[in-house]
A and B are shown apart, each in its own frame.
Chain A
Amino acid sequence: MLTLQCPYCGVQAEETELHAGGEAHLKRFGPGASDEDFEAYLFMRENPKGVHFERWRHVNGCGKWFHAARCTMTLEVFGTYSAQTSEPPQSIRAAISAKRPGWQWKDFA
């Protein structure tokens, strides 16, 4: 039962208030995309033991989607941030670097 702070309403929400939305920062591929790109977008997911970026919705709360950066091993939460961005903000990356020097996740580091 994780707790995550909703960056929109500020509530320290627990998992029963939240809806998990899987991997964050997916790039959508639509008509015209190659089979490979479309397959990767639709099905291929990171499953890291360590730093991960996820989408969550504060569903039994303000209803907003947000992103969380956390460690799947230690359950440490590095931070939560707006869902309206295609990459983790610098503050979040810095917070992760402070705890996990040399971390990497897809194209981000």
Chain B
Amino acid sequence: MSTRLAHTGRLLTKARQIAFTFNGKHLTGFEGDTLASALLANDQMLVGRSFKYHRPRGIIASGAEEPNALVGLGTGASFEPNQRATTTALFDGLAAASQNHWPSLDFDVGAINNRLARFFPAGFYYKTFMAPRAAWKHLFEPIVRHSAGLGKAPRDRDADTYEHFYAFTDVLVIGGGVAGLQAALAAGRAGAQVLLLEQTPHYGGRAPVDGGKINDLPVDKFVEQIVAELETMPNVTLRLRCMGAGVYDHGYVLGYEQLSDHTPGIPGPRHRLWKIRAKQVITATGAIERPLSFAGNDVPGVMLAASVRDYAVNYGVSVGDRTVVVTNNDDAYRTAITLKTLGLEVPVILDARTKGGGDLMVQARALGVRVETGKGIAKVLGTKRVTGVAICTQAGEGAVLEEIACDAVAMSGGWSPVVHLWSHCGGKLIWDAAQAMFRPDVDKAPTGASGEAFVLAAGTANGALSLGAVLSDADAAGKAAATATGHKPKSDSAPQGETPAEALIEPVWMMPQGAGVKLRMKSWLDFQNDVKVSDVQLAAQEGYESVEHTKRYTTLGMATDQGKLSNINGLATLARALNADIPAVGTTTFRPPYTPISMGAIAGEARGEIFQPLRRSPMHAWHEENGAYWEPVGHWRRPYCYPRSGETHADAVAREVNQTRASLGLLDASTLGKIIVKGPDAGRFLDMLYTNMMSTLAVGKCRYGLMCSENGFLSDDGVVARIDDDTWLCHTTTGGADRIHAHMEEWLQTEWWDWQVYTANVTEQYAQIAVVGPNGRKLLEKLGGMDVSRETLPFMTWADGALAGIGCRIYRISFSGELSYEIAVPASQGRALWDKLLAAGQEFGITPYGTEALHVMRAEKGFIMIGDETDGTVIPQDLGLNWAISKKKSDYLGKRAQERSHMADPNRWKLVGLETVDGSVLPDGAYAVAEGVNDNGQKATQGRVTSTYHSPTLGKGIAMGLVLHGPDRMGEVLDFPRIDGSVAQARIVDPVFFDKDGEKQNV
């Protein structure tokens, strides 16, 4: 039984009772409880099931390292899976549910996996993926699928808000235990700007629970004093409930602040992500206690010794009436002494060391506690709850000497400094054999932009375990950080810490040291992922010598706790199995974040409209008011079509095409890129950029141009207009404007920097409207102001002027094959001109059309579209665009690349038109099959569809595609298998389906 004690609970306000539910059961706790302490106070030790075997799992720890007590928290829009009960503050109305069990926590069908454990060995996934496919499909997959997944994903949109916050500081201290506080004080007193982050709601860390004295004061009093002093310092900022999540290049640190998780419903963001730039970072992150590997160490009721002490002292919770303590170091004696002092039973302390401990052992014995040295646990008795332990000699194989009844086991395998934040940005570790721990190698700290170290570890996180050593180490770190940031530390001395003298730890990686396979198969290393001592040994036996490989093979340390409890025990086990030294095996990589942070915090304010601001053309509102169906194009939204009531999208597209071809259409072309290129060398520059000649373009004329990458592939296209002697205006595709402008700048700034050329991306400065169709000229003449006749403004020319009193530039260019004018006006005039054109065009049945009608009409004309006919592997020559490639130029971007043998290969697929035999529409992306099979045994191919539409003009399906020797195979019929297994047949034809001689546009 775990229960609430009458007289302790230093973090509780017992006057405030708090109601909460667990799996629907109504329970109560106190203000100051964590969910874990409140559950234990209600004797709810069983909190979940393990990932693979669905074994019963209890609370093991009291902090961020907890691997088992993960719950689903909240409901509906506030639901969150995998929340750690040990770090979740209790609040009124909290609703928690356990995970990974079906149908109930106490009776779980998946636990049958537990009986099948020998069929789920290390490397299970690797091995079964290799096994016969049928076994996977019919045997393993159904079992695995049924039980897979940790927690459930939320179904509703997150109801909370989140924010990002930027901070700059001289010294960032991560951790508000006594080390962090002392380091902050030392740096702060020197005048440095200090920011201190503490992940829990309390300062002081675990020192107040562990006891001892600082400057002759109880630790609690010292913490109170130092926090009070720090709070008066204007150059020091302290944050509680704010975790240092990750340390990155050049002093960049992410902090994760939980603002209202403990007080849900208060206004404001729930989490705040701190983006911090610190000149110096001090990691005062403490240490994590290691479990011991004995059989049954995962039975609910087996906990870390210091956590048992935390629950008793901080939360007034006894995890059991009779607690057996098992240890290889002195610290666990504190737990025995604490429990005994509170009137609880400690039947025995099993100390694996033959000589036992120091002063604390003497104290424990003086309290009447039985201490057995050189002994350990052979196995834990009980399944859903500890009922006793069988003890053995540590030196032996596990022969049972005695069974001792108990309802809790407090274990300690020693302490591992939390080196995660030290390691994130490249800090190296050394193996400290005397203390049996990896600790930061101060000579190999992460380095910043200056090449100097920017991270210092302090206190326990630096391997200093006694209170006195912690304080002097932290004081020195604070002073060093202050010095490094240009401040002069005070010459005061560090506070004096007093604790009992301790005997050295003796590493114990398996208990007993000679445990046979039966015991090893029940000795857990990773509690969340169900990795046992035997699994790691098997991995080693099967040749996995690298710790990173063993991690993946066994899934050791891959769960949401990232191996906080399991990593060191796991790699020590691996080292033993490989007969190698622990430092030779090394650790796996520590990656941020330290504990999982919410997706909401990562997104911050960037959700909905703010996630990616929409680019809107000057006519956007009109499109919206007139029922446009939107298509995302780059960051723009463009009308795909304007369906009228009762129309399908296909109906609308057909109407828009037909009306444009028959009379008059109107297109918002504002999103097309417009880049001005100007200067004495502009012509020369454009000749390098485009495959064709632009320097010879006459002022007043337009020319269609192609741009390639230096790798030869077609990258963008558009019409270029020569504005004056040294000015060109280059149109790009809608999505290409920023990319092409950047491309131009890159070449100008980094290759031809002595050329005198300026570029400006003026895309958004202009609204551009295409007036398209046989009645286009009549419409512009009706508006009046410019001579738009064939003679004055022929095809592929432009002119400045004013239409209906609005200053404009008209380009006579066409992407539809119709008589077409593209009219550019200042963006602010776009809507006015659009409205005038619509009003004046009524008599011609003017019809705004969208991108799909545009696409259909360009395909009817055989015009290529970047992104459809091109995909980054297509060169202009593939598309029959040789006419747009200058033969006279000695060089342009992509020219050399296009001379490579593969590019000049006559077997490259070439552009053709495709016309289905039955008039249907070819599936987009369909492949034309050929005789035989390829090297992979798949059907050979000889072409593919790049664009495919129903042509309302021609009343049938038309397509463009790339086909082997296509232009030489006119009239041949190809087979295009559909996804449903049927085959579409299409004839190779000229890609220009409509008005081959351009009679309609050239009028």
Instruction: Select one of A3, A32, A65 contacting B746, CB under 8 A.
Output: A65
| Segment 51-104 of A: residues with Cβ below 8 Å from B | 55, 57, 59, 63-65, 71, 74-77, 83-84, 99
Residues in chain B near residue A75, CB distance under 8 A:
249-250, 425-426, 447-449
- Contact residues of B between 721 and 751, Cβ < 8 Å to A: 742, 745-746, 749-751
For residue B450, CB closer than 8 A to chain A, the reply is yes
Q: Which residues on the A side are within 8 Å of B900 (C-beta)?
A: 35, 38
A64 and B749 in contact (CB under 8 A), knowing A1-B252, A30-B896?
yes
Instruction: Tell me which residues across on chain A come within 8 A of B749, comparing CB atoms.
Output: 64-65, 83-84
Contact call A31/B895, Cβ cutoff below 8 A: yes
Considering the complex, give the chain B residue whose CB is closest to the CB of A84.
B753
A77–B746 Cα distance when bound, in Å, is: 23
A28 within 8 A of B: yes
Residues of B within 8 A of A76 (CB): 447-451
Tell me, in angstroms, the Cα distance from A65 to B753 when the chains sit together: 11
Can you list, as one digit per residue, whether each of B245-285 has a CB less than 8 Å from chain A (1) or not (0)?
00011101000000000000000000000000100000000
Range for the number of chain A residues in contact with chain B? 20 to 34
Task: Tell me the complex Cα distance, A64–B742, Å.
Answer: 10
Given contacts A75-B249, A75-B250, contact A83 B753 (CB under 8 A): yes
Of the residues A19, A59, A99, contact of B451 by C-beta under 8 Å: A99
Q: Could you tell me if B742 and A59 are in contact, using CB atoms closer than 8 angstroms? A: yes
Query: In the assembled complex, how far is the CB of residue A62 from the closest CB belonging to chain B, in whole angstroms?
Result: 11
* B750 near A83: Cβ-Cβ < 8 Å: yes
Q: Which residues of B contact A2 (CB under 8 A)?
A: 249-250, 449
| Chain B 389-421 near chain A by CB (<8 Å), digits 1 or 0 | 000000000000000000000000000000000
Residues of A within 8 A of B751 (CB): 28
Pairs across A and B, CB under 8 Å, 8 listed: A15-B249, A29-B896, A65-B750, A71-B451, A74-B426, A75-B425, A75-B447, A76-B449
In the bound complex, how far is the Cα of B899 from the Cα of A29, in angstroms? 13
Q: Quick one: which of B250, B447, B742 has the most chain A CB within 10 A?
A: B250
B449 contact from A3, A19, A59, A65, Cβ within 8 A = A3
**Chain A 1-60 residues near chain B, CB threshold 8 A:** 1-3, 14-15, 19, 21, 28-33, 35, 38, 42, 55, 57, 59
Identify the closest chain A residue to B253 (Cβ): A1
A45 to chain B: closest CB distance in Å? 14
Known contacts A2-B250, A57-B746; A74 and B753 CB within 8 A of each other:
no
Q: Are B250 and A3 in contact (CB under 8 A)?
A: yes
List chain A positions with a Cβ less than 8 A from chain B. Answer: 1-3, 14-15, 19, 21, 28-33, 35, 38, 42, 55, 57, 59, 63-65, 71, 74-77, 83-84, 99
Which partner residue on chain A sits nearest B746 by CB separation? Answer: A65
Q: Which B897-912 residues sit within 8 Å CB-CB of chain A?
A: 897, 899-900
**Mask: chain B, 437-452; 1 = CB below 8 Å from A; 0 = not:** 0000000000111110
Q: Is the CB of B750 within 8 A of A55?
A: yes
Identify B891's interface contact among A30, A42, A59, A63, CB under 8 A: A30
| A residues near B248, Cβ cutoff 8 Å | 1
B598 close to chain A: CB less than 8 A? no
Contacts of A28 in B (CB 8 A): 751
Contact A31:B449 (CB < 8 A) given known A1-B250, A42-B711: no
Residues of A within 8 A of B896 (CB): 29-33, 38
Any A CB within 8 A of the CB of B890:
yes
Q: Which residue of A lies closest to B688 (CB)?
A: A30
A42–B753 CB distance below 8 A? no
Q: What's the minimum C-beta distance from B390 to chain A, rounded to whole angstroms?
A: 52
> Any chain A CB within 8 A of the CB of B220?
no
Alpha-carbon distance A76/B449, docked complex (angstroms) = 4
Beyond A29-B896, A75-B449, A84-B753, 4 additional pairs, beta carbon < 8 A: A38-B897, A65-B745, A71-B451, A74-B426
Contacts of B895 in A (CB 8 A): 30-31
- Given the interface pairs A71-B451, A83-B750, the reply to whether A63 lies near B745 with Cβ below 8 Å is yes
Please name all residues of chain A whose beta carbon is closer than 8 Å to the beta carbon of B890 when the two chains form the complex. Answer: 31
- A42 CA to B894 CA, complexed, in Å: 11
Distance to closest chain A CB from B225 (angstroms): 37
B774, chain A: closest CB distance, angstroms: 45
Our pick among A1, A32, A35, A38 for the contact of B249 (Cβ within 8 Å) is A1
Give the chain B neighbours of A14 by CB distance below 8 A.
250, 252, 277
CB-CB nearest in chain B for A59: B742
Is B163 an interface position by the 8 A CB rule?
no
Q: Which residue of B lies closest to A85 (CB)?
A: B753
Alpha-carbon gap, A45 to B252, bound state (A): 28
**Cβ of B746: which chain A residues have Cβ within 8 Å of it?**
21, 57, 65
The yes or no answer to B710 lying at the interface (CB within 8 A) is yes
Contact with A along B202-236 (1 / 0, CB 8 A): 00000000000000000000000000000000000
Task: Tell me how far the C-beta of A68 lies from the nearest C-beta in chain B, rounded to whole angstroms.
Answer: 10
Residues of A within 8 A of B425 (CB): 75
Chain B residues, Cβ within 8 Å of A19: 742
Q: How far is the CB of A28 from chain B (nearest CB, A)?
A: 6
Kindly list the 8 A-B residue pairs having the minimum CB-CB distance in the complex, ordered from nearest.
A76-B451, A1-B252, A84-B753, A74-B447, A65-B749, A77-B449, A3-B250, A30-B891
Which residue of chain A lies nearest to B275 when distances are taken between CB atoms in the complex?
A1
* A71 CA to B451 CA, complexed, in Å: 9
Which residue of chain B is the closest to A19 with respect to CB atoms? B742
Which residues of B855-901 are within 8 A (CB) of A?
Answer: 890-891, 895-897, 899-900
Q: Is the CB of A42 within 8 A of B710?
A: yes
Tell me the smallest distance from the CB of B755 to a CB of chain A, in Å.
11
Which parts of B688-711 form the interface with A (CB within 8 Å)? 710-711
User: B745 — which chain A residues lie within 8 A by C-beta?
Assistant: 57, 63, 65
Q: How far is the CA of A99 from the CA of B452 in the complex (A)?
A: 11
Return the chain B residue nearest A8 by Cβ: B749
Chain B CB within 10 A, most for which of A57, A64, A99: A57
A47 to chain B: closest CB distance in Å? 18
- Closest chain B residue to A76 by CB distance? B451
- Residue among B710, B742, B896 having the largest count of chain A Cβ atoms under 10 Å: B896
CA gap between A31 and B449 in the complex, in Å: 41
Minimal beta-carbon separation of B500 from chain A (angstroms): 42
> Does the CB pair A74–B897 fall under 8 Å?
no
Q: Which of A3, A21, A42, A59 contacts B897 (CB 8 A)?
A: A42
**Shortest distance in angstroms between A34's beta carbon and chain B's nearest beta carbon?**
10
Binary contact track B753-788/A, C-beta < 8 Å → 1, others 0: 100000000000000000000000000000000000
Instruction: Please tell me if the beta carbons of A31 and B249 are within 8 angstroms of each other in the complex.
Output: no
Docked CA distance A37–B768 (Å): 45
Assembled-state Cα–Cα distance A21/B425 (Å): 23
Q: Which residue of the partner chain A has the closest CB to B453?
A: A74
Complex CA distance for A44 and B220, rounded to whole angstroms? 62
The answer to whether A31 touches B899 (Cβ under 8 A) is yes
* CB-defined contacts of A77 to chain B, threshold 8 Å: 449-450
Q: Looking at the assembled complex, report how far the CB atom of B707 sits from the nearest CB atom of chain A, in whole angstroms.
A: 16
Bound Cα distance from A25 to B753, whole angstroms: 14
Measured between beta carbons, the chain A residues less than 8 angstroms from B711 are 42
Which residue on B lies nearest to A63, using beta carbons?
A: B745
Alpha-carbon distance between A75 and B426 when the two chains are bound, in angstroms: 10
Residue of A nearest to B901 (CB): A35
Nearest chain B residue, comparing its CB with the CB of A66? B749
CB-contacts of B271-311 with A (<8 A): 277
A74 contacts B451, C-beta separation under 8 Å: yes
Q: Chain B: which residue is nearest A43 at the CB level?
A: B711
Q: How far is the CB of B870 from chain A (nearest CB, A)?
A: 19
* Cα A31 to Cα B426 with chains together (Å): 45
A77-B249 Cα distance, complex, nearest whole Å:
11
Nearest CB to that of B449 among chain A residues? A77
User: Which chain A residue has the least Cβ–Cβ distance from B749?
Assistant: A65
Q: How far apart are the CA atoms of A83 and B754 in the complex, in Å?
A: 12
Q: A64-B749, A77-B449 are in contact. Are A31 and B891 (CB under 8 A)?
A: yes
Please measure, in the bound complex, the distance between the C-alpha atom of A35 and the C-alpha atom of B902, giving whole angstroms: 12
Distance of A15 Cα from B277 Cα, bound (Å): 12
Please name all residues of chain A whose beta carbon is closer than 8 Å to the beta carbon of B277 when the two chains form the complex: 3, 14
A3 cross-chain contacts in B, Cβ below 8 A: 250, 277, 449
- Interface residues as binary, B907-940 with A (CB distance below 8 Å gives 1, 0 otherwise): 0000000000000000000000000000000000
